[in-house]
Each structure stands twice: as C-alpha cells, then as structure tokens.
Amino acid sequence: MTERLRATIIEAAVIVVAVIEGALTAIGEEPSESLVLCLIAVLAVLVRERWPLVSFVATLPAVVFPGAIVAALAALYTVAARYRSWWLLTGCWLVTAGTLAFPLLDVAPQFWHTEMLLGVIYFTMTAGAPILLGRFLHSRRELALRLNEVKEAREHERRLDAQAVLAKERNQLAREMHDVVSHQVSLIAVQAGAMKVSTTDPASKAAAENIRQLSVNTLDELRHMVNLLRASGTPATELTPQPTLTDLHRLIAGSAIDARLVGDAPEDLEPPLQRAIYRTIQEALTNVRKHAPGAGVTIDLSREDTDLTVTVTNTRPTRPTLALPSARHGLVGLQERAALLGGRLHAGSMPDGGFRLRLWLPLAVHGGHGPK
C-alpha cells in the first residue's frame, strides 16, 4: 500500500467517524443548533490540512455544546503535526482540555469535587494524546529525511573513494606501461635499426626499417596513452594528436600487409567519426597480423545516402598462425565506440576461411556530408 493511499484511507475514516459521532451526539439535542455545529466541525475537518489553526478553532463549539470531540482531536493532531512551537501547542492543549471539561461544571459545581478532578485528568490526557501523536509522526518523518540525506552522503563518499582508487590504479598502470612496455619497444626499435645498418639484403633492410618505424609509432601512441591514464580520465583530457582519415594511407603502408583501399570517405567528417574509422581499420589490420599471417586485406569505404560503411575483409591465412593470446578487448572497445556514435559493428568469419569486420555509421546525426 502506498503512502498516499494510506493517507487517503485514514482521512476518509476520520471524516466518517466524525460524521457518525456528530449525528449520534445531536440526537436528543436541539436540532437547529447541534446539527449546525456538528456540520461546521465536519467541514472544518475537511480543510484542516490547508488551514489547521482555523479548522481547530471551528471545531471547538461542537465540543462545548453537543459534545462531539472527534473533529476537534483530529484538528488538534494536524496542528501538532504542522507546527513546532511548544507555546502554541501548549495553548491548544489547554484550550482543548478546558473545552472538553466545560460540561462538567453542570455535574460538579466545585472544582475539588471527585468527579471534577477525574474529568480534568481524563480530558487533559485526552487532549494531550493527539499532540503527542502528531509530534511523534512529525519527528519520524524528519528522521526519515535525515536518514536519506545520510545515505546520499555516504553514497557520494563511496563514489569519491572509488574515483580515488581508480586514479591510483591509473597512475600505477601508467608507470608500469612507461617502465616496462616502453623499454621493451625501445629495445626492439634499437635492434631493428642495428639490423638495418648491418645487413646488406634489401628485403632484410626493408623489414628492419618497417619494424623500427612500427616501434617508433607504438612508442608515440604509448606516450599519449600514459598521459591519458595519468590525467585520471578528466573530461578535458584528449589523446593528441588524434588520427584522421588523412593518416589512413600511412597506416596501411606501414602495416606490412598486402592491403588495398577501395573508395573514399567524405572529406568533412567530424573528428569522432574519423577517429572511429581509423581505429577500426587499425584494429582490423592488427588482428590480421596476429591471426591471419600472409592474408590479403581489402578495405572498402562506401557511402549510401546518409550512411557510411567501412568493411575490412581478409582472406584466409597463407602461413601458419601463431597461438597468440586474445581477450577480444579491441573489438569490444570498437563496438562501444560505434554505439556512442549511433552506429553498429559486426565481426565474423567467412565461409572461405577469411574474416570480415564491418562498421556502420550514420552521417546525418553528426552533420557529415558526402562530396559534392
């Protein structure tokens, strides 16, 4: 049961009880006076949430003459739940207790009469009950709000701690990459340079130069990645310089793979689209080197209306494949990058033993236009 439904049921129950009590109390009394006062008290109960003090005052005449007390107690409870001034609540309590005890003057003319004293005690406790109940429920609501605030503060603190741990891990990873990976790649570049100088075979010279150039490029990208990790992933951090489609030919030429580029991409693509295309082709070429040595690669860039499709297809390998570890993190990263741009990425084997990687990107979303 929801809080609003529970409040509605309680409200209806209070009104029904007030109406029944007023009707029963008015029996045997002067109809013209009792019914009017009871009706006013019931109407006051209906508006007690909006005007609690006015409603409370309007219910008091029905307590003095016909003796209907339910409406007054309900209004007193609302006053106690709404206001925090103990001076006001004490005054309302004394007024209610005195109003409830007023009919006893006809029964016990002397205050020290036993029935008078018992009545005062009874009506004093009766008037105090709705005040205590109202203050209790009000305090419970305030406590619930404070608990929610504490919970939100703890959740915020937990997020800050997680960010601090993540920043520490990023810095540690950056140091490991710089100290270990860059050192090994530097050794590869140095040895490749030494091999190029010492050999006289043209093919060996070309292979050594290709290895040296790839090592240099890897070191350059590694340096930018280390800077990104040390920046703890702040929104303003960016890998610079970022690759563009003008670097595609250099990427393909330095891949040491028999690859050919078919088609051209629009010239005015936004940088995020250009980076997505570049990284997709780069990952595809890396996978061919790792898992399909000797395979030929075709890179097709095609545009249809407002869509751009990049398809990288390689044939089956012609040399034995080395068992290299792969967690498919590269493809997962490409899929996430494509999804952020509103596109899709599909990768799968072909019946002839080759492999196809296809990237689809919407140009209209990013303001891309084809060549005129």
* Residue 261 falls inside a structural domain: yes
Tell whether 166 is covered by a domain: no
- Tokens (6 digits) for 341: 């741009």
Tokens of 21: 């009590």
Judged against a pLDDT cut of 80, whether residue 128 lies above it is answered with no
Lowest mean pLDDT among 178-187, 244-253, 313-322, 347-356: 178-187
Domain-ending residue, one of 114, 134, 149: 149
In a domain, 198, yes or no: no
- Is 191 part of a structural domain of the chain? no
- Residue 241, preceding bond cis, omega within 30 degrees? yes
Percent of the chain with pLDDT over 70: 72
Contacts of 281 (CB under 8 A, 6+ apart): 248, 251, 252, 299, 310, 312
Q: What is the pLDDT of residue 179?
A: 57
pLDDT, residue 231, reads: 61
CATH classification of the domain holding 288:
3.30.565.10
For residues 141 and 248, state if they share a domain.
no
Please check whether residues 264 and 128 belong to one and the same domain: no
What is the domain count for the chain? 2
29 domain-assigned:
yes
Q: What is the mean pLDDT of residues 12-27?
A: 68
What does the pLDDT look like over 27-84, one tens digit per residue? 655 556 667 777 777 777 777 778 888 888 787 777 777 667 777 778 888 888 887 7
Query: Which domain covers residue 141, as residue numbers?
Result: 3-149
The last residue of one of the domains, among 149, 173, 190, is: 149
Task: Please report the pLDDT score of residue 299 as a whole number.
Answer: 93
What percentage of residues in the chain have a pLDDT greater than 90? Answer: 6
Q: What is the distance between the alpha carbons of residues 27 and 254, in angstroms, rounded to a whole number?
A: 104
pLDDT per residue as tens digits for the range 133-184: 778 877 888 888 888 888 888 888 888 888 777 777 777 666 666 656 766 7
Q: What pLDDT, on a 0 to 100 scale, did the predictor assign at position 104?
A: 57
In terms of domains, do 9 and 137 share one?
A: yes
Mean pLDDT of the chain: 75
Q: Given phi > 0 = left and psi -120 to 50 = alpha, else beta, which region is 294? A: left
- Distance between CA atoms of 58 and 68, rounded to whole angstroms? 12
**Angle, CA of 194, 196 and 199, to the nearest 5°:** 100
Position 235 scores a pLDDT of 45
In a domain, 10, yes or no: yes
By the 8 A CB rule, do 103 and 68 touch? no
257, 299 Cβ separation under 8 angstroms? no
Question: Which candidate, 336, 327, 221, places its Cα nearest to that of 280?
Answer: 336
pLDDT of residue 325: 47
Q: Which of 149, 168, 184 is the last residue of a domain?
A: 149
Residue 50 is assigned to a structural domain of this protein: yes
Q: What is the pLDDT of residues 260-306, one digit of tens each?
A: 898 887 777 888 888 889 889 988 888 887 788 888 999 999 988 78
Query: Rounded to an integer, what distance in angstroms lies between the CA atom of residue 159 and that of residue 157?
Result: 5
Does residue 192 sit within a domain?
no
* Range scoring the smallest mean pLDDT among 260-269, 307-316, 323-332, 336-345: 323-332
- The CA-based angle 136-140-142, given to 5 degrees, is 120
Q: Out of 4-13, 110-119, 241-250, 355-364, which region has the weakest mean confidence (pLDDT)? A: 110-119
